[in-house]
């Protein structure tokens, strides 16, 4: 793959295919991105079909397209279709693998400061159940996971590394492949949360070397809400039994016997949102069509531009960490609550989120930060939106 940016013509087409850009400056792509038309049309068409001919019948009719969703996901991540599962969100996907992992009492799990809130809550619950030792590996001076520290921690023994690739609360892109290299060297099981990175940066599970990868549809992949996915490699499939089973995950083979299916779909439920699954497939195909590399290079350039413009304002401080940075830009305006800034932006049809300390307790309080404003850009955003956004922030300072 070569690094190419999107041309002006492509950008015009991408924006025309994203009707939401006419309504809002959407800098909340790390929350839920604006979907392109094809995602909405695919999802709605299936719902209509369910209404017209019946839900089971519509699923049967769409069987080939439903199975193609796994092929699309596999292509996106360099995996095999049978290694992919479609699950309702990134948290449940991560849970299915981590809660199903055969921990032994006293096992050590290594994680980083960027770990996602729900994953940490899960690890803390598992800590109680299995007397796990959850070790937080420090950041290096650039703010990414410290690879030397990680190496030392791995040398002391660990059952699992659970790492977030791109955190919910900042521009950091953790060095996932370097972590994978270390995990391989120490033969340690590696779970990567790619919820924010999927669709934002190119991901090849074999290059990264993770055993498990979890993600969501609605963020940088621009899919429908309530969709997510899980990749599990062969070692993960050998090792992990899902914490719950049903008639889709297992077969009831005799009165008192069952057999768990041997592919990643053992982590799915029987009942699922078929329209959402097809919409997710459409989103993945769209991302592959646009080109993740090209989209990534554009959105990262836009985020860099936004960071430097915000940095140039008096009383605004950008707080993103890391050597490599992505599309999430976090900042504070001196003397203004994050919610007041969000409100001011909303009055001007600009969407952002707030990252509160309670969503990043291993990170924000350690940097003395109670909450940050999160402006997350996508490739379909444009320079004029950045201009309007920065002017609104500048005005909100004046109006203080």
Ligand X SMILES: Cc1ncc(COP(=O)(O)O)c(C=O)c1O
DSSP 105: T
> CB–CB of 363/114 below 8 Å?
yes
Token pair belonging to 291: 């080109």
Task: Give how far Cα 169 sits from Cα of 145, 183, 199, 384, Å.
Answer: 15, 25, 17, 24
Is residue 111 a contact residue for ligand X (CB under 6 A)? no
Q: Which is nearer to ligand X, 164 or 297 (CB)?
A: 164
Of the candidates 366, 370, 396, 378, the one whose C-alpha atom is nearest the C-alpha of residue 25 is 378
Selected from 28, 91, 188, 342, the binder of ligand X by CB under 6 A is 91
CB 137 within 8 A of CB 146: yes
CB of 89 to ligand X, least distance (A): 3
CB closer to ligand X out of 84 and 90: 90
188 binds ligand X (CB under 6 A): no
Q: Which CB atom, from 126 or from 336, has the smaller least distance to ligand X?
A: 126
Cβ closest to ligand X, residue 32 vs residue 396? 32
Distance CA 219, CA 372 (A): 19
Query: Interface residues for ligand X in 213-232 (CB under 6 A)?
Result: 216, 228
Tell whether residue 273 is a contact of ligand X (CB under 6 A): no
Q: Near ligand X by CB under 6 A, which window of 73-81, 85-93, 323-331, 380-388?
A: 85-93
Instruction: Answer yes or no whether residue 90 interacts with ligand X by CB under 6 A.
Output: yes
Minimal distance in Å, beta carbon 87 to ligand X?
Answer: 9
Q: Are strands 371-376 and 328-333 parallel, antiparallel or unpaired?
A: antiparallel
Instruction: Decide: is 89 part of the binding site for ligand X (CB under 6 A).
Output: yes
- Give the helix ranges, DSSP H, for the chain: 8-16, 37-53, 55-61, 63-77, 90-98, 117-130, 147-155, 176-186, 205-208, 234-239, 274-290, 292-311, 338-347, 383-398
Whichever of 199 and 291 has its CB closer to ligand X, that residue is 199
Nearer to ligand X, 219 or 344 (CB): 219
The dihedral through the CA atoms of 268, 274, 280, 286 has a sign that is positive
Q: How far is the CB of 294 from ligand X (least distance, A)?
A: 23
Number of other CB atoms surrounding residue 280 within 10 Å = 29
- 231 in Cβ contact with 75 (< 8 Å): no
Interface pick for ligand X out of 28, 72, 196, 376 (rule CB under 6 A)? 196
Q: What are phi and psi of 231, to 5 degrees?
A: -110, 135
| Least distance between ligand X and beta carbon 164 (Å) | 5
C-beta of 193 vs 382, nearer to ligand X: 193
Q: Which stretch binds ligand X (CB under 6 A): 64-72, 193-201, 275-283, 371-379?
A: 193-201
CB of 219 to ligand X, least distance (A): 7
What is the Cα–Cα distance from 111 to 153, expressed in whole angstroms?
Answer: 10
d(CA 383, CA 361): 33
Among positions 176, 195, 283, 360, the unique one binding ligand X when judged by CB under 6 A: 195
- 359 and 168 Cβ atoms separated by less than 8 Å: yes
172 versus 336: smaller Cβ distance to ligand X:
172
Q: Is 193 a binder of ligand X (CB under 6 A)?
A: yes
Nearest to 50 by CA among 276, 240, 213, 330: 276
x-marked contacts with ligand X along 141-170 as a string, rule CB under 6 A: -----------------------x--xx--
Smallest separation, CB 199 to ligand X (Å): 13
Taking CB under 6 A as the criterion, the residue among 116, 231, 267, 331 binding ligand X is 116
Query: Which C-beta is closer to ligand X: that of 79 or that of 195?
Result: 195
Q: Residues interacting with ligand X, by CB under 6 A?
A: 89-91, 116, 118, 164, 167-168, 193, 195-196, 216, 228
């Amino acid at each position: 793959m070569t690094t190419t940016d999107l041309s002006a013509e492509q950008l015009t087409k991408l924006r025309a295919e994203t009707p939401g850009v006419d309504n809002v400056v959407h800098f909340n792509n790390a929350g839920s991105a604006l979907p392109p038309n094809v995602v909405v049309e695919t999802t709605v068409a299936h719902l209509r079909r369910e209404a017209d001919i019946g839900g089971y019948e519509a699923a049967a009719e769409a069987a080939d397209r439903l199975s193609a969703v796994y092929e699309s996901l596999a292509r996106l991540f360099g995996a095999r279709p049978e290694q992919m599962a479609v699950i309702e969100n990134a948290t449940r996907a991560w849970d299915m693998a981590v809660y199903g992992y055969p921990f032994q009492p006293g096992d050590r799990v290594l994680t980083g400061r960027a770990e996602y809130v729900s994953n940490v809550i899960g690890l803390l619950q598992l800590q109680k159940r299995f007397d796990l030792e959850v070790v937080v590996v420090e950041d290096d001076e650039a703010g990414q996971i410290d690879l030397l520290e990680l190496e030392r921690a791995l040398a002391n023994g660990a059952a699992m590394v659970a790492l977030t690739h791109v955190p919910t609360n900042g521009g950091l892109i953790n060095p996932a492949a370097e972590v994978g290299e270390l995990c391989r060297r120490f033969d340690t099981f590696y779970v990567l949360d790619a919820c924010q990175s999927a669709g934002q940066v190119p991901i090849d599970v074999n290059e990264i070397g993770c055993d498990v990868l979890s993600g969501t549809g609605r963020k940088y992949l621009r899919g429908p809400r309530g969709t997510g996915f899980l990749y599990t490699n062969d070692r993960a499939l050998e090792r992990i039994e899902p914490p719950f089973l049903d008639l889709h995950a297992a077969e009831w083979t005799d009165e008192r016997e069952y057999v768990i299916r041997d592919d990643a779909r053992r982590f799915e439920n029987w009942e699922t949102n078929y329209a959402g699954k097809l919409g997710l497939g459409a989103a993945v195909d769209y991302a592959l069509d646009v080109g993740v590399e090209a989209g990534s290079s554009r959105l990262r350039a836009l985020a860099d531009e936004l960071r430097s413009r915000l940095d140039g304002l008096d009383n605004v401080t950008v707080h993103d960490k890391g050597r490599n940075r992505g599309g999430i830009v976090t900042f504070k305006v001196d003397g203004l609550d994050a919610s007041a800034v969000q409100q001011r932006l909303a009055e001007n049809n600009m969407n952002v989120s707030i990252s509160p300390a309670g969503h990043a307790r291993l990170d924000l309080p350690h940097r003395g930060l109670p909450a940050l404003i999160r402006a997350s850009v996508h490739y379909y955003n444009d320079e004029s939106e950045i201009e309007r956004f920065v002017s609104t922030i500048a005005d909100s300072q004046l109006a203080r």
